[in-house]
Structure 1
Amino acid sequence: MLAKQYNHDFNEKTTKEKEMSREDLKFLEIMEHSAVLQEGRYCLKLPYKNKEVCLPNNFAVAKQRIQGLRRKFLNNKHLHQEYAGYMNTLINKNYAEQVPQQQLHGERGKVWYIPHHGVHHPRKGSLCVVFDCGATFQGASLNSELLRGPNLTSSLLGVLRFRSEVVAFMGDIQAMFHQGKVAEEDRDFLRFLWWPDGDITQDLREYRMTVHLFGAVSSPSCASYALRKTADDNQSEFVDDVVQSVKQHFYVDDCLKSAATEEEAIQMIKDLTALCHFGKVDKQQSYCVAGHQRGAKGQGPEGVGFGPR
C-alpha cells in the first residue's frame, strides 16, 4: 500500500510514457484549434465531451442557493463584506461581466447557472468564493459535460530536485486559472447570480465568467496548456533554459528553480517574469535564497533574499 501511494504521489516515469487516451487527444485538439491571443491573454474554448452541448435551465436552483446566501449575509455582516469584496474584485478585474440586456434570454440549452459559496482558507483566514461546477440539475452538471484533459503538470519529484545549484528561488502565478480567457460563445455556460456592488437590497443580476474558473474539471489542464503555449510561442525571444524552466520547473502555479550564482538567479527571475507576461500570466512574487548549508534568508552571503519582485 505504501509503494502504491508513493507511485501515485511521485509518478515520475522512468519507462516509456503511456499513450494518451482518445479524450485527452480530443482535449488537445480543441485547445490547439481554439487558442488565440485576445488583449494579450490566451482565449480557449471550454473542452466539451460532445460538440452539441444542451443543458436544462437551472435558473431556479441557482436563485434558491443565492437566496440562502442572502440570509447568511443578513446574520453575518463581516461575511457579507468579505464576499462582496471578493466578487467585486472578480468583476473589476474583468474576470466576470454582467450579461448584456439583449443577451439575457440566451439560446435554449446553451445557458447554465453556477451556484457559488464562500470557503475560508484554513491557514490564511481569507475568504475564497468557490463556483460549484459539479452542481446537478435534472441529472446534468457542467463538469459532466467537460473533458478533464491530460495531466500537463510537471512531475512533483522532478520539481523538488530544484536545489541542484547553490542559489534557489521560488515564484507563484497569481490566480492561475483566471489568466486564461474563455471563448465568448461559451461564456453563457458560466453564468451566476449576484447583486450590483454586493448590495443585497437591489435586484439580482445575471453575470458570467470571462475566464476559466476554479471548480471546473477542465481548468487545471487549460491553465497548464496556456502556460506551456506561452513558452512555446515565445521561445525565440529567450534562451532555452528559460523556456524549459517554464515547462519543467512549475508545479501547477508554483515555480521552483536554482542557479549557480545570485546574478544568474536574478536574471532568470527577470526572464521568467518577462516570458509569463507575454501570455499575461501574472507572476505574483519571486524569492531567492542562497546557500545549501544555511537556508535562512538574509543571513550573509549564504542566505541572501531577493523579493518580492
Structure 2
Amino acid sequence: MQLRRFWELEEYVETSSHLSEEKKLCEEYFLKHTVRDASEKFTVRLPFLHPPSQLGDSRQMAEKRLSHIERKLHRNPQLKHEYHAFFREYLELGHMTLAECPAPKDSVYLPHHCVVKEASSTTKCRVVFDASANTTSTKSLNDVLMAGPVLQDSLVNVLLRFRLPAFVVTGDIKQMYRMVEIHEADRDFQRILWRWSSDEPVSEYPLNTVIYGTKSASRQHPTAVEKAEKGTYVDDVLTGADSEEEAILLRLQLSTIFASGGFYLRKWASNSAAVLDGVPAADLEMQTSIEINDTRTIKALGIHWQPCSDQFQFSNIPNKIFQPTKWTMLSQIASIFDPLGLLASIVVKAKMVMQQLWELKVTWDETPPGELVQHWLVFVQSLSDLNSLQVPRRVIGTQGASRYYLHGYSDESERDMGACVYQAW
C-alpha cells in the first residue's frame, strides 16, 4: 500500500470540478461573509463546520511548545534573531496585536515553530502557526473548520503552460495570506503566546490576518485575468506571452489586478531583460537585471530555472551517502523534486530497488542485502552528474508555425515501462 502510494505521487490526475457538500458549504459561506474595506482589502470569517465549543483547552499545550521553541532559539542565536524579526514585523504591520482583555472562554491558542528555507532570496525563517494541534478534547481548530474547494490549477498544469510562451515572467505575491484580514469576531480563535525574553511574562496576541496552515485557507484585463487564474500556484505566478511587448503589458496588468485586492507582486524574473525594464531593483528576484552568461538560477515552483539561458536545471540534487535502510533510501528518492518527469528514466532505477525491498520484506530500519546496497550506492554516486543537466524550458522552438505534431513513444521491460511525447512543427 505504501509503495503504491509512493509511485502514484507522479501520476497526472485531472482536477475534478465536482464539489463535496462540505466544499459547497464553504464556498457559499465565503461568498456570503467576505467583505472588502475602503482600501479594497478582503476581510473573511472563519468557516466553522462544527461549533468551536467542541474544542478543549489549548493554552497549556501552547505554553509547552513556546518553552520548546525558546530553548531551541537559545541554542541558535542567528535563528533567534530571525524569529524575533519575524514577530517584530508581524506586530509593526498590525498582523497581530497585544491582547488587552482576558481571553474569552472558547479562545484557541495556536503553537508556532520555524521553517527554514535556505534557498529563499527574502525570508529565510518563516514562522508557521499550527492550527492542527490538538486541544484537550483531541480536536484541533482545523478539525472544526470547513475545507474549501481547490481553486488553483494543478502544479503540473501550471508548469506545462510555463513551457509554452516565448517570453516568460514569474512573480511572487508578498505575504499573500497576511493581506487578508480575519473578522474581529474570529480573532480569538487565532491567539498565540509570545514574549521577547524568557525573563518576561508570557503575553497573548490575537492574529488579525489569515494564517498559512488553516484548513480553509474585477475583469478590466480579461487576458491577464485568465493568465493569472491558470498560472498561479499558491503565491507564485508563472506566465508569459509570445512577444516582449505582450509580456511587458501582461506584467503591468497582473500588478494592477493583484493590487486591486491588496496583494503586491514582487520577486520578478524573466528570460528577457526588456520585460523587467522599470521594475525596482528591490522587487527583482535576482536583485539585478539579467546579464549574458549569468549562471545564477531561481526556483520556479521548486524547479531551478536559469532565466538567461532559459533552461531548467537540477542543481543541489541530494547525493549524500547515508547508512542504507529502506527508510533512508525512500526518503532520499522522495527528495528529488521532478513533477514534470524529466528525470523519470533515472529515478525509476531507484524505485526498482525499493520494489525489491518490499518483495524481500526488508523492514524500515534493516540494512538491505549486499547486492541491493551496491546498486543503491552506485545510483546515489551517479546523482552528482545531474547537476550539469539542463533542459530547455520552452518546448515550442519556432514562432508562427501553422501546424504542430505530437509524437508519442512507449516501451516496457519486465520491471518497468515508460512513455515520452515529442512536439514537432
Q: Per the alignment, do residues 52 and 85 of structure 1 end up closer, same or farther by CA in structure 2, a change over 3 Å counting? A: closer
Query: Could you tell me how far 1:206 is from its partner in structure 2?
Result: 0.6
8 Å CA contact retained: 1:62, 1:113? yes
Aligned residue in 1 for 2:158 = 159
8 Å CA contact retained: 2:240, 2:250? no
* 1:90-138 residue CA offsets vs partner (Å, 9 max, x unmatched): 1112221112x2x3232x22x0101112232253492221211111122
8 Å CA contact retained: 1:289, 1:303? yes
- Helix, strand or coil for the counterpart of 1:149? coil
- Helix, strand or coil for the counterpart of 1:105? coil
The yes-or-no answer on 1:213 pairing with 2:211 is yes
Q: Which amino acid letter does the alignment assign opposite residue 63 of structure 1?
A: E
Q: Which amino acid letter does the alignment assign opposite residue 274 of structure 1?
A: T
8 Å CA contact retained: 2:155, 2:233? yes
The alignment's C-alpha RMSD in Å is 2.7
1: CA distance between counterparts of 2:271 and 2:143?
44
The yes-or-no answer on 1:24 pairing with 2:23 is yes
Aligned residue in 1 for 2:119 = 123
Query: Could you tell me how far 1:3 is from its partner in structure 2?
Result: 7.8
Q: 1:298 aligns with which of 291, 297, 303?
A: 291
Superposed, 1:55-94 pairs within 5 Å as: 55-94=55-94
1: CA distance between counterparts of 2:150 and 2:181?
20
Query: Could you tell me how far 1:18 is from its partner in structure 2?
Result: 4.4
- Helix, strand or coil for the counterpart of 2:271? strand
Q: Which shifted more, 159-168 or 66-75? A: 66-75
Q: Which amino acid letter does the alignment assign opposite residue 272 of structure 1?
A: L
Aligned residue in 2 for 1:181 = 181
Q: Which amino acid letter does the alignment assign opposite residue 159 of structure 1?
A: V
- Helix, strand or coil for the counterpart of 2:87? helix
Aligned residue in 2 for 1:135 = 133
- Helix, strand or coil for the counterpart of 1:256? strand
Query: Could you tell me how far 1:53 is from its partner in structure 2?
Result: 4.4
What percentage of residue pairs aligned between the two structures are identical? 26
The yes-or-no answer on 1:244 pairing with 2:234 is no
2: CA distance between counterparts of 1:155 and 1:77?
39
Q: Which amino acid letter does the alignment assign opposite residue 63 of structure 2?
A: K
Query: Could you tell me how far 1:261 is from its partner in structure 2?
Result: 1.5
Q: Which shifted more, 135-144 or 270-279? A: 135-144
8 Å CA contact retained: 1:174, 1:284? yes
Aligned residue in 2 for 1:256 = 238
Q: Which runs of 5+ in 1 are unaligned?
A: 220-233
TM-score by length of 1: 0.80
The yes-or-no answer on 1:96 pairing with 2:96 is yes
8 Å CA contact retained: 2:103, 2:188? no
The yes-or-no answer on 1:268 pairing with 2:256 is no
Aligned residue in 1 for 2:50 = 50
- Helix, strand or coil for the counterpart of 2:48? coil
- Helix, strand or coil for the counterpart of 1:264? helix
Query: Could you tell me how far 1:297 is from its partner in structure 2?
Result: 4.5
8 Å CA contact retained: 1:166, 1:290? no
TM-score by length of 2: 0.59
Q: Which amino acid letter does the alignment assign opposite residue 120 of structure 1?
A: V
Q: Which amino acid letter does the alignment assign opposite residue 232 of structure 2?
A: F
2: CA distance between counterparts of 1:265 and 1:4?
36
8 Å CA contact retained: 2:35, 2:42? yes
Q: Which runs of 5+ in 2 are unaligned?
A: 274-288, 294-306, 311-425
- Helix, strand or coil for the counterpart of 2:193? strand
2: CA distance between counterparts of 1:266 and 1:212?
32
Query: Could you tell me how far 1:73 is from its partner in structure 2?
Result: 3.6
2: CA distance between counterparts of 1:69 and 1:286?
34
* Number of residue-to-residue matches in the alignment: 273
Higher relative contact order (CA 8 A, sep 6+): 1
8 Å CA contact retained: 1:288, 1:304? no
The yes-or-no answer on 1:114 pairing with 2:125 is no
* 1:21-53 residue CA offsets vs partner (Å, 9 max, x unmatched): 000001101110111113431111111112564
Q: Which amino acid letter does the alignment assign opposite residue 32 of structure 2?
A: H
- Normalized per residue, the structure richer in helix is 1
2: CA distance between counterparts of 1:74 and 1:299?
45
1: CA distance between counterparts of 2:94 and 2:152?
27
Aligned residue in 2 for 1:203 = 201
